[in-house]
Amino acid sequence: MPLQRALKTIAILAFSLASTLAHAGHAYSLWGDIKYPAGFANFDYVDPAAPKGGELVAVSNLRVSTFDKYNPFTIRGTAPAYLDTLLFEGLLTGAMDEPGTGYGLLAEDVSVAADGLSAVFKLRAAAKFHNGKPVLAADVKYSFEVLSSKFVRPAYRTLLEDVAGVDVIDERTVRFNFKKKNRELPLTVGGIPIFSRDWGLEKDGKRKPFDQVVMDIPIGSGAYKIGPVNFGKDISYVRDPSYWGKDLNVNRGSHNFDKITIKIYKDNTARLEGLKAGEFDFMQFYSAGDWARRVSGKRFEDGRLKKGEFKHRLPTGFQSYIFNTRREKFQDVRVREAIGMAMDFNWMSRQMFYGLYTRVNGLFGNTDCQATGMPSPQELALLEPWRGKIPAAAFGAMTSPPNTDGEDRLRENLRKAMALLKDAGYTVKDGKMTNAKGEPLVIELLDSSESGSRTHSAMIRNLAKIGIEMRMRVVDFALYQTRIQKFDYDMIVIAFQGTHTPGQEYLEMFGSKSADTPDSANYAGIKNPAVDDLVSKMVGAQTKAELLPACKALERVIAHSHIFIPQWSATQHNVAYAPKKLGYKEPMPPYARADAWLLDTWWAKPAAEGK
């Protein structure tokens, strides 16, 4: 989802605050290790001599049929894919081969006060918006104030709630003041998108309320502007020939296409057929069945298209079924755990996924924050004050997803599920799992695409065996988005990307305050002071030794609360691309998302070479 990409862009720029010394320089690292020194030439994973020019034609993997606004920050409506990342920049930018470090982009210098309660950014004199005006401290202050307002998606307000305010020191120097010392707050403000104060101005000089800035062309500072638009079919972005930052070391070898066109299709089948017909040159695959069986045809046989499998070191994330615990039927942890017992991942892996996926467990898989085995003494010290308010199982071994390998393992899991439901007051009547009020347990799984029906069908069948009816409800994306924003669902599936540097964004996903805020990312509706406390300790950690027990304790509480039914993750990016048209430098940077890597560092091969 676009908002999750925005939050990830902010989260990946994490850097540290020292407890006794102020810091200033070209970059900040979460734990003090910076790979690229001041004055470095370029990131290692780019080709600084990559040719400029040509066109990339790709496809949006968002499940949208069109878009109805150019403002990616407001609540209502849908903005075009990648507009937020191509048109806007932050004060800092991250590197795809180094998690947890931010390098100066709009800002040439960053300093953090000795007490950790403020951060000062000095803007580059060359930085300019698309309208030719300089990026000034007043624009940074304005962007912060807008993103902290009621007019934008609440995730930004959550991220920025511990920022006390912004002071304009001089024309190109801005200071962010913090309510408390927090290693992540300079990261957060360093990652917010900066836009011009002129965006949304009327001809008479009056400013529209930001939620009424809908189709006004954004005024950002990024390398691309909006180009030709074919509503309902595609949108193009064109490289700004006057882009101010083209010679920066953090940009060298990047932004190589003159034009990027993003095709829009109504469903996955149409996207796949469009690829085979040569309508675009790059597509990432999330379906193991498509990748193993349906990515084929004449263009693959003659070499015009190629299947690429790129290994990465990204966190597993926590793609999951999500219970809406605002619903009374999901408020008992035993009910949620029982429903999760019906997921037969082992069978799905063999029959549907071709062994391409691994099972997700918890929040922080493939990172240092991943909890395993029994809690450490440090974790127990954080959990103990909340005994009785968190699941007792959190004080024991970390969860392990139900295993169905071997004879009768699924049947045994379903027997355990029925025992849990019985303990929760359910009985089977006339073949239906029924509560004490005589109400059958019926679950509506909300989705915006029919393509998921095959993977959901196994879960639906297994639940039926214990008297639980799961109904798949498919609606168009606009209605789906509206229902998500209003928390009007029983269960949904969300793919959380995960991070090596967890921080303030977890308040948006799990904090009590966000549970009642429409359009927040607290999809499960969690309201637990213990979770609030653990997230706060994780966010406020000043050293890695403080961070790890806090994030591991949080993972144990969330996992043993069974608000998610963890699904699966891939250890590689599966992409189809046109090798005669597109070039890239090997190897892929280990912490890159496939689409970000493509848009940022690939290039169009010269016509003669690409034939």
Instruction: With respect to residue 66, please indicate whether it lies within any of the assigned structural domains.
Output: yes
- CATH code, 110: 3.40.190.10
For 355-365, what is each residue's pLDDT tens digit? 888 999 999 99
Do 332 and 208 sit in the same domain of this protein? no
Residue 451 vs residues 267, 286, 472, 480, 563: alpha-carbon distances, Å: 8, 11, 11, 15, 24
Is residue 59 a contact partner of residue 281, using CB atoms and an 8 Å limit? no
pLDDT at 540: 86
Residue ranges of the chain with per-residue pLDDT less than 70: 1-24, 61-65, 407-408, 608-611
For 499-547, what is each residue's pLDDT tens digit? 888 888 899 999 999 999 998 999 999 999 999 999 999 988 888 899 9
Instruction: With respect to residue 115, please indicate whether it lies within any of the assigned structural domains.
Output: yes
- Rg, Å, the chain Cα set: 24
- CATH code, 493: 3.10.105.10
Instruction: With respect to residue 317, please indicate whether it lies within any of the assigned structural domains.
Output: no
Q: What is the DSSP string of 525-566?
A: ----HHHHHHHHHHHH-SSHHHHHHHHHHHHHHHHHHT-EEE
Instruction: With respect to residue 267, please indicate whether it lies within any of the assigned structural domains.
Output: no
pLDDT at 576: 97
Cα–Cα dist 607/244, whole Å: 28
Instruction: With respect to residue 424, please indicate whether it lies within any of the assigned structural domains.
Output: no
For residue 469, what are its two tokens?
Answer: 């009816």
pLDDT at 63: 54
For 380-417, what is each residue's pLDDT tens digit? 999 999 999 999 999 999 999 888 887 668 999 999 99
**Sign of torsion over alpha carbons 518, 524, 527, 532:** negative
Please list, residue by residue across 471-496, b when 16 or more beta carbons sit within 10 angstroms of its beta carbon and e when fewer do: ebeeeebeebbebbeebebbbbbbeb
Cα–Cα dist 329/321, whole Å: 16
The DSSP H or E segment spanning 163 is strand 163-170
Instruction: With respect to residue 414, please indicate whether it lies within any of the assigned structural domains.
Output: no
CA dihedral of residues 127, 132, 136, 142 (deg, nearest 10): -120
Q: Which residues contact 530 (CB under 8 A, 6 or more apart)?
A: 386, 389, 390, 557
Q: What is the DSSP string of 335-391?
A: HHHHHHTT--HHHHHHHTSTT-EEE--SS-TTSTT---SSPPHHHHHHHGGGBTTB-
Domain span at residue 61? 2-37+54-214
Instruction: With respect to residue 436, please indicate whether it lies within any of the assigned structural domains.
Output: no
Instruction: With respect to residue 44, please indicate whether it lies within any of the assigned structural domains.
Output: no
Strand partners, 429: 432
Look at the block and give the residue holding tokens 């001809």.
203
Count: domains in the chain: 2
